Amino acid sequence: MRSYSIEHASGIDALKIVEQEIPAPGPRQLLVRMKAASINYRDLLVVCGNYSRNQPLPLVPLSDGAGEVVAVGEGVTRWKAGDRVASAFFQDWDAGGIGDGAARSALGGALDGVLAEYVVLGERGVVALPRHLSFEEGATLPCAALTAWHALRSGGLVCGQSVLTMGTGGVSVFALQFARAAGARVIATTGTETKMERLRALGASDAINYKSEPNWESKVFELTGRRGVDQVVEVGGAGTLGKSLKAVRAGGHISLIGVLAGGAGEVNPLPAVMKGVRIQGIFVGSREMFDEMNQAIELNAIRPVIDRIFPFDDAPEAYRHMQSGAHFGKVVISIQGRG
């Protein structure tokens, strides 16, 4: 079978296809024929050597995949051949709060990932795909969708509240979709003028260009009647956190997720203190949250927004497209398992 491998994390050109034996599932494991995978911002950091100093190599990249179970190992009771499944980002985070071991079980990081024709996963390391989704759509869920879901849930989102999202990447577009499904108002930013109409078409009440309106936090404040939003899905990091603290209401919630506008830097914590803002770090989510999210996706007939699907052989091109920032939603790689 064919698989991508990163031997030196020196950039996108380091992605190489290798031939390997189809692995056999051990006890409580499944052999999954992968049909599709999707890329997250983190995967760009991994291939460029900017994710972790202790990154094990060689590595099969990507955490997010969907496919069909083709064989089960001894003792597996939850799954059978033919089941449609998606990989869980953390192979070892079932439920409850995040434990110390979760990060050591992340696919495409600590463990080999899913950009391969066949992958062995633990029986607790997959979830059932929502029935109305294709494999390509299902492959977008494990990281970006679950992170957005976890963020909104941790902020206790209820109908009628308001949410601020940033940019039009995977996490933010899912946050927009979930918030709208929950009956919340969404104010979205983007740095790309042509994406504003798409944000409104997905249900954002307002779209703000953060490049042409550098003081966009004041606009968010005005749009909420000078109250501030109830929640911020903060994917910018140190570069936007100060603005998020201005845009959020007193007693509001900020989910700290990403570093798109810079990971390090000084942020004045006083507004958080004086406004009683709750700031919660979010690291993807548990398998239980993933199941819960899939139920909501199915009940609300939510369809992930896929920007483009690339063939397996063109995976490096998919990475480059993601790196360009031109995408809206998710970038997917189709994997046709042979044989």
Ligand X SMILES: NC(=O)c1ccc[n+]([C@@H]2O[C@H](COP(=O)([O-])OP(=O)(O)OC[C@H]3O[C@@H](n4cnc5c(N)ncnc54)[C@H](OP(=O)(O)O)[C@@H]3O)[C@@H](O)[C@H]2O)c1
CB of 182 to ligand X, least distance (A): 19
CB of 90 to ligand X, least distance (A): 10
- Residue closer to ligand X (CB basis): 69 or 187: 187
- By beta carbon distance, the residue nearest ligand X is 169
> Per DSSP, what are the bridge partners of residue 119?
32
Instruction: Kindly state the helix (H) or strand (E) to which residue 245 belongs, with its residue range.
Output: helix 238-247
SS (H, E, C) 45-66: HHHCCCCCCCCCCCECCCCEEE
- Residue closer to ligand X (CB basis): 235 or 289: 235
Residues 110-144, buried b or exposed e (16+ Cβ, 10 A)? bbbbbbbbbbbbbbebbbbbbeebbbbbbbbbbbb
- Residue closer to ligand X (CB basis): 5 or 165: 165
DSSP character for 141?
I
Contact predicate 110/104, CB 8 Å: yes
Residues at the site binding ligand X, with contacts judged by CB under 6 A: 40-42, 143-144, 147, 166-172, 190-192, 195, 210, 235-236, 239-240, 257-261, 282-284, 322, 325, 327
Report the sign of the C-alpha dihedral through residues 161, 166, 170, 173, in that order.
positive
323: tokens are 């790196």
CB of 237 to ligand X, least distance (A): 7
- Residue closer to ligand X (CB basis): 22 or 280: 280
Contact predicate 60/107, CB 8 Å: no
- Residue closer to ligand X (CB basis): 109 or 122: 109
Cα 15 from Cα 147, distance rounded (Å):
26
CB of 153 to ligand X, least distance (A): 13
Lookup result for tokens 């995977």: 170
- Residue closer to ligand X (CB basis): 3 or 147: 147
CB of 286 to ligand X, least distance (A): 12
CB of 77 to ligand X, least distance (A): 30
